[in-house]
A and B are shown apart, each in its own frame.
Chain A
Amino acid sequence: MTISKKIVLIGHFGVGKTSLIRRFVENTFTEDYKVTIGVHISKKTIEIPENESVSLIIWDLEGQDDIKKTRPSYLLGTNGFIYVFDLSRPATFENLESELSFLKENYPKVPTKVVGNKMDLVNKVYLSQHNDVFNTNVDYFVSAKTGSRVESLFAKLARELI
């Protein structure tokens, strides 16, 4: 049996939301940056143990520097959020706590995964410098470019949604 779940990716401009989806759905990556306007929808069905499959309907929203600016109607009926920021650009994670509290207040029952993308651009020293933010809030450090941990991020979220 296949069940459908709506996943919404949010975060600042240029953090790699579209690249993450493209890596997960098509297993491709491109350096060409094309800004997402409005929303783009993709779909991927993944098999999970216990012989079930989940059809993930992934909503890739245009980047916003403030989550409150996101069109609320796009977030209606969301089953899972993926909040993406760029590990190499502190501006994209400096308001992380307030952004996450907004999600918790308005969508308390919806699971959220906080993802630091572009892991390939930073080193251990840099990560330890921002330890206070990363250690407490971040669920996954991924790289859409190399594909590192992208599959497991979506798989984990899909399992939590059943």
Chain B
Amino acid sequence: MNQDEKLSIIKDILLTDEREFTSSIEKKIKILESLINEKRQLSTKVDPIIDDKLKEFIKEIPNTLGPTITKALKKEIANSQDAVVEALFPIIGKMIKRYVQHEMKLLSERVNNQVNKTFSFKGIFRKAKSKASGVNESDLIIQEQTNAKIEQLIIIEKGSGLVLAEFSKNKMADEDMVAGMLTAIKSFVEDAFKKENQNLQYIEYDHYHIHLQNFSSFYMAVVISGAYNVIFKDKLEDEILEFTSKQKVATLLKNKKLLTKKLEDFLKNDNI
């Protein structure tokens, strides 16, 4: 036995444990390799963890992403209002159409009920009123259903458009802005027609009718909701004329406080 063979025998004796350890590690690595490389085997281990995390993530969305999404949506809507209107228009249009159809049906039923009572005292009185005033009976019936209501009274200085006095049961709009815009519209229309002594007398805005009554240095704007018809207009004109002459409005134009009080009394009495 030479020197090399002796050394080899000694190595075998000394490294037996290490060799066994190395072979066990190799086995473990092979098992891990198969686990990672084979999808099915990996998914059995990983899927439950991912599922848990996903469930947790979904549960937390309102808290984590909610504010960011809301902020982004608000910004997007603000930046593309026209697009939003375009998108919503057909939907809102349908809703409004349905609502109007419903209201018209109700109104029609009410009118039918009124017509059916033709031979009642009220019906006969309405017929006589229609003949006397020249207003169609159906207009009178509809008027009974939707009576006109004065919402706001504004006395406006001609030319400047400044408010001299104002009163409203419920604050409708900024009277200074309304008075300014009404005056600008009046000026434009009256200039455009270029005929002297002609005045704009009426403007319709959304659900409201704005009756304009002109005097020498001021005009009165009356905002009305409900049905504004010839009868109501005539009565309103008469009442305003009576109010302005009786209360000597022209002499009170510089006294905003007193004029406002007079308007308040006029509106509270609800003569019309």
Question: Chain A residues in contact with chain B, CB under 8 A?
Answer: 4-6, 38-39, 41-43, 55, 57, 59, 71, 73-74, 76-79
Taking a contact as CB atoms under 8 Å apart, the answer to whether B191 and A71 are in contact is yes
For A6, the chain B residues whose CB sits under 8 A away are: 160-162, 180
Contact of A57 among B159, B162, B190 (CB under 8 A): B162
CB distance from A110 to the nearest CB of B (A): 11
Contact B181 A73 (CB under 8 A): no
B176 adjacent to chain A (CB < 8 Å): yes
Main SS class of interface, A:
strand
Residues of B near A76 (CB, < 8 A) are: 158-160, 187
Q: Are A77 and B187 in contact (CB under 8 A)?
A: no
How far is B177's CA from A42's CA once the two chains are assembled, in angstroms?
A: 7
Contact, CB under 8 Å: B160 / A43: no
Q: How many residues of B contact A (CB 8 A)?
A: 17
CA distance A161 to B9 in the complex (A): 119
CB distance from A4 to the nearest CB of B (A): 5
Complex Cα–Cα for A5 and B191 (A): 23
A43 to B159, CA, bound (A): 17
A71: nearest chain-B partner, CB-CB: B191
B163 A41 Cβ-Cβ under 8 A: no
In contact, B188 and A57 (Cβ under 8 angstroms): no
Whether A73 and B187, one on each chain, are in contact in the complex, defined by CB atoms closer than 8 angstroms, is yes
A79 to chain B, nearest CB (A): 7
B174 within 8 A of A: yes
B69 within 8 A of A: no
Whether A78 touches B160, Cβ cut-off 8 Å, given contacts A38-B188, A73-B187, A73-B190, is: yes
A74→B190 CA distance, assembly (Å): 11
Chain B 30-67 near chain A by CB (<8 Å), digits 1 or 0: 00000000000000000000000000000000000000
How far is it, in angstroms, between the C-alpha of A79 and the C-alpha of B161 when the chains are bound?
11
B162–A43 touching, CB < 8 Å: no
Query: A77 and B159 in contact (CB under 8 A), knowing A43-B176, A55-B176?
Result: yes
B-side contacts of A4, CB under 8 Å: 162-163, 176
Q: How far is the CA of A71 from the CA of B187 in the complex (A)?
A: 9
9 A-B interface contacts by CB (under 8 A): A4-B162, A4-B163, A6-B162, A38-B188, A41-B184, A43-B180, A71-B191, A73-B188, A73-B190
In the assembled complex, which residues on chain B have CB atoms less than 8 Å from the CB atom of A74? 184, 187
Nearest 10 CB-CB pairings of A with B: A77-B160, A76-B159, A73-B187, A77-B159, A41-B180, A39-B184, A6-B160, A4-B162, A43-B176, A57-B180
A79 touches B160 (CB 8 A): yes
Query: Could you tell me the distance in whole angstroms from the C-beta of A132 to the nearest C-beta in chain B?
Result: 36
User: Are A73 and B180 touching (Cβ within 8 A)?
Assistant: no
Q: Does the CB pair A77–B161 fall under 8 Å?
A: yes
Contacts of B163 in A (CB 8 A): 4
B184–A38 contact, CB under 8 A? yes
Beyond the given pairs A39-B184, A79-B160, 12 more chain A to chain B contacts, judged by CB atoms under 8 angstroms and listed by A's residue number, are: A4-B162, A38-B184, A41-B181, A57-B162, A57-B176, A57-B177, A57-B180, A59-B180, A71-B187, A73-B191, A76-B158, A76-B159
Q: How far is the CA of A74 from the CA of B173 in the complex (A)?
A: 22
- CA A73 – CA B176 in complex, angstroms? 18
Knowing A73-B190, A73-B191 are in contact, say whether A43-B161 is a contact too (CB < 8 A). Answer: no
In the complex, which residues of chain A have a beta carbon less than 8 angstroms from the beta carbon of B177? 41-43, 57
Choose from A5, A38, A71, A73 the contact partner of B159 (Cβ within 8 Å): A73
Q: Which of B159, B160, B187, B190 has the most A CB atoms < 10 Å from its CB?
A: B160
Query: Which A residues lie within 8 Å of B184 (CB)?
Result: 38-39, 41, 59, 74
Give the complex CA separation of A38 and B191 in angstroms.
13
- Which A residues are CB-close (under 8 A) to B191? 71, 73
CB-CB nearest in chain A for B257: A1
